[in-house]
Amino acid sequence: MLLRILKSNTIFSSLLIPVIAFLFWLHSFQSPELLDLKLANGAMPLYFLVYDLFKEQRFWQVFIAFCLVLVNSFFVAQLGSSFLFVRKRSYLPGIIYLVTVSSFQVLHSLLPVHLATLFVLISIYLIFSTHHKPAEITYTFNAAFFLALASLFYLPALILFPLVWIAIFVLQKNDNWRLLVVPILGFCTPWLFMWTYSFLTDSASSFWNDILKILWVDHNAYLLAPYFLIITAVVTIITTLGSFSVLAVYHRMKVSTRKFFVIFYWMLGLVIASALGLITIGVEIVAFSTIPVAYLISHFLLSEKRTIWKEILTWIYLATMVLTLYYTTTIQLKN
């Protein structure tokens, strides 16, 4: 019953996203807190331009973060519908993204990762748009450009830059060295503007010192937190079932769908490797990893074969997220 409601593609199901979002963020709206900048991991200059507009306004910090997560959730849902790499049109990927990200109380703030995620999603859209275009320079340049913008909000977004090159080989099947240079040009353009601005304002040295400081601050203690291990176990199990679901019909998928999932696997691999290998990345990286995970889980839950296990796993998944929110909220109240 629950799964049937979540996976429907009606006006009612589209309203589920803001309703679920409000329920998960209700406590944050009731007791908004000013963001401690120590929690703004990877914060870069473009983020501070936004933060300075709301730095003394608790409610608006929470509300803007809420709106960003909401927009990103709808983007995730529409991305799946636009390129049809899930079994049917559904808002389920967006709901999975929303519920997972919203289950961490620490993410109920105006964090750099929420702004960066929007630009990452735009970049993914542009990357997928290069399919069947053997030498698509414009989309390739723009994809790298938006990833660079994402990194100027949230520095660890740099880890996703290889996706542009991967897309050239997977979607465009092109090894022309000129096309391989395009992502570098697209990525360097925003950084060049930022460096030029910092140079002209005599803040170049502090700009690079801040980046070096970000790279050496330890934020990965969350990896061993009990709640995170539990939520990781549940998500891993259901995502693995999603992978089996993809592999089971891989030979019957459209060529484009196969390639899109290959890119999602690369994205998930890059995020996991970075989360485990880089001490500077904190729990906010969940906002990136949940993008490919949402589609893998949706592929499994949207399969035509009806089983009671899918309904049970949906309840388990939702219950885990609710309990995680309760646990992380309790911890924050104690602190």
Which tens digits make up the pLDDT trace of 216-268?
A: 778 888 888 888 999 999 999 999 999 998 888 888 888 888 899 999 999 99
Q: What average pLDDT score do residues 18-30 get?
A: 92
What's the alpha-carbon Rg for the chain, to the nearest Å? 20
Joined tokens for residue 35: 């963001």
Calpha distance 144→295 (Å, rounded): 22
The DSSP code for 110 is -
Q: How far is CA 129 from CA 4, 16, 100, 167, 299, in A?
A: 31, 28, 27, 10, 21
CA distance 25 to 32: 10
Cα three-residue angle 254-260-263, rounded to 5 degrees: 145
Rounded alpha-carbon distances, angstroms, from residue 101 to 95, 141, 270: 10, 29, 19
87-106 pLDDT per residue, tens: 677 889 999 999 999 999 99
25 and 17 Cβ atoms separated by less than 8 Å: no
Q: Read off the amino acid at residue 191.
A: W
Helix, strand, coil shares of the chain as percentages rounded to 5?
A: 80, 0, 20
Average confidence score pLDDT of the chain: 88
For the segment 102-130, the average pLDDT, to the nearest whole number, is 94
Q: What is the mean pLDDT of residues 152-164?
A: 94
pLDDT of residue 141: 92
pLDDT at 333 over 70: no
* Cβ-Cβ contacts under 8 Å for 235 (sequence gap 6 or more): 100, 293, 297, 317
pLDDT, one tens digit per residue, over 264-287 is 999 999 999 999 988 889 899 999
What is the four-CA torsion angle of 126, 290, 224, 160, rounded to 10 degrees? -10
For the ranges 10-19, 144-153, 238-247, which has the lowest average pLDDT? 10-19
First to last CA, the chain: 39
Whole-number pLDDT of residue 1? 67
